[in-house]
């Protein structure tokens, strides 16, 4: 990958289990990227943003001047703001900062839109920052949310103070076939008109053996409001996420909108946290991370891809060390 594999072994030992800043030589300052409307992931045509649903977690003891320098937390594919509720509360408490956990487009309670790519998702978050009058925002994103955070930081660095990318990297990579398999199973659940989650779980089991992952996916089920003027909600459960839209987007969700780190970079602090049992951030991409994000640090956490839930204390410590003021 871009001739970077030869540098991999030097980083493996240096970054294992510690927060250490790695500097990669880069060329002269790159020009600031154009606005979202001018550059699309696959088209130059303007597109509409959506207004994101969110939960605000306020600290009991706000740190001085932190009301307008919040943390914005973004989930991964098939996730929602409720997945980040616990870590958001903890970070609000420990850092004294307001934490906004958002639902990205086509997820949770946010609107659906036929376009689902990182340029569009990043533009939604940029609008969210402006609409709420936020300054010096910290972005935390897991997986799909991590690439959204990276895209926004590279597109509009003035909106972002720093970012934390969790188990993803600024590279094109093939998305695992398990996601397409999940959608097949989830569509079967929608077609079955289930009324209990146990029924849905039984349908999904042939598509995913892990109970924890099935429970995560089934967290998207809800009972839609009744139609035709009837009171209450329907008995059948359906998925909130638009499965057809996400199915069409899967082929491109492994992509990253930027290809050349010589054209644009984010020259503010960035933390990359990866799971030691995950394959999403292999050693050979680390130099490329440094070219896009020259002020980056890397922390390895003993966990798989879902490291925030698998090892929350190690993740919390890494975030606190990164975000606490330094002398």
> Any bridge partners for residue 300, and if so which?
274
**CB contact at 8 A, 215 and 82:** no
State yes or no: is 143 an active-site residue: yes
Which residues have C-beta within 8 Å of that of residue 186, sequence separation ≥ 6? 204, 217, 220, 239, 243
Candidates 33, 80, 110, 143; catalytic one: 143
Which residues have C-beta within 8 Å of that of residue 54, sequence separation ≥ 6? 81, 100, 101, 102, 103, 128
Cα gap 71→54, rounded to integer Å = 12
Backbone angles phi, psi at 119, to 5 degrees: -65, -45
Written as six digits, the tokens of 187 are: 């569509």
Written as six digits, the tokens of 61 are: 């003891």
Cα gap 232→236, rounded to integer Å = 12
Candidates 57, 116, 142, 305; catalytic one: 305
Task: For residue 48, give Cα distances in angstroms to 36, 62, 77, 80, 139.
Answer: 11, 35, 21, 21, 22
State yes or no: is 305 an active-site residue: yes
Cα gap 65→146, rounded to integer Å = 26
Q: Dump strand ranges (E) for 110-192.
A: 137-142, 160-166
Catalytic residues: 143, 305
């Amino acid at each position: 990958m871009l001739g970077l594999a030869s540098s991999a072994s030097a980083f493996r030992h240096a970054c294992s289990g510690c927060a250490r800043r790695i500097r990669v030589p880069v060329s002269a300052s790159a020009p600031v990227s154009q606005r979202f409307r001018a550059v699309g992931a696959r088209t130059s045509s303007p597109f509409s943003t959506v207004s994101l649903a969110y939960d605000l977690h306020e600290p009991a003891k706000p740190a001085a001047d932190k009301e307008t320098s919040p943390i914005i937390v973004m989930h991964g594919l098939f996730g929602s703001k409720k997945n980040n509720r616990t870590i958001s509360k903890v970070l609000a408490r420990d850092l004294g900062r307001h934490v906004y956990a958002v639902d990205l487009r086509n997820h949770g309670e946010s609107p659906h839109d036929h376009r689902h790519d990182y340029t569009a998702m990043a533009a939604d978050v940029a609008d969210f920052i402006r609409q709420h009058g936020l300054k010096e925002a910290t972005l935390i994103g897991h997986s799909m949310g991590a690439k959204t955070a990276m895209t926004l930081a590279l597109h509009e660095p003035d909106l972002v103070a720093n970012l934390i990318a969790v188990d993803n990297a600024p590279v094109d990579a093939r998305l695992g076939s398990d996601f397409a398999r999940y959608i097949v199973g989830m569509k079967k659940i929608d077609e079955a008109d289930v009324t209990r989650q146990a029924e849905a779980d039984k349908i999904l089991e042939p598509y995913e053996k892990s109970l924890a992952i099935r429970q995560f996916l089934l967290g998207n089920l809800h009972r839609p409001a009744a139609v035709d003027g009837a009171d209450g909600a329907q008995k059948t459960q359906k998925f909130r996420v638009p499965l057809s839209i996400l199915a069409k987007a899967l082929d491109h969700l492994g992509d990253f909108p930027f290809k050349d780190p010589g054209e644009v970079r984010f020259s503010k602090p960035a933390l990359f946290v990866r799971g030691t049992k995950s394959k999403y951030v292999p050693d050979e991409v680390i130099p490329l991370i440094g070219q896009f994000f020259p002020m980056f640090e890397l922390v390895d956490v003993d966990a798989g891809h879902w490291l925030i839930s698998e090892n929350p204390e190690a993740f919390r410590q890494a975030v606190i060390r990164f975000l606490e003021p330094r002398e």
